[in-house]
Amino acid sequence: MSSSTTQFSSELRGQYKTTAYASDSAKSPLAPTMIPRRDPGEHDVQIEILFCGICHSDLHQVRSEWSAVPTVYPCVPGHEIVGRVTRVGSAVTKFKPGDIAAVGCMVDSDGNCHECQDGLEQFCPHVTLTYNSPDVHLGGVTYGGYSDSIVVNEHFVLHVPSNLNLAGAAPLLCAGITTYSPMQHWGVTKGKKVGVVGLGGLVIWL
């Protein structure tokens, strides 16, 4: 998406508004809307979103098909995000404006629990998901990558190699890592044969 429609609002101190695609109910199509984003804090990276993949979990969430995770509307899905860094906070050390960056299904965690200290933020009891998760900064819930821009804690932003096709790189943030993670865990190396089974979420069989 282009950031040309992003509008910074003087009415919301410390916030700006940006264009997004949201669903207003389980039966509503995605439609253009304006959503708030926070201005980057000292540890934050602001990203102009260039590409965002479509995961079937996005559809499940928009249609409120997961009873364990009720959907809060309006819902802006998207957790396979690739874009260009536009602003960084004063304490950010790994990114600078112009870098190509990516964001997956998490955008924050408490950083203090045992799981976070072990580098397993996905198991943090207070993990903040990219969308439909309590937003500790702005209130309400988080909004995902079907939007023009996003602001994320530096710890949850990844560098994207310049030689990758950016549209093709976006699905690596979910479908790709779902496949890669078990291969790494089980020590798959060159010459070994693997089978990838499943539609949507993927399972590796060695």
Distance (Å, whole) CA 84 – CA 33: 22
Contact 116, 131 (CB under 8 A): no
Query: What domains lie within the chain, and their CATH numbers?
Result: 3-169 (3.90.180.10), 174-206 (no CATH)
pLDDT per residue as tens digits for the range 49-88: 999 998 888 999 999 998 888 999 999 999 999 999 999 9
Q: pTM of the prediction?
A: 0.84
Alpha-carbon torsion (108, 114, 120, 123), positive or negative: negative
Phi, psi of 55 (to 5 degrees): -110, 145
Distance (Å, whole) CA 20 – CA 195: 37
pLDDT at 202: 53
SS3 (DSSP) at 50: strand
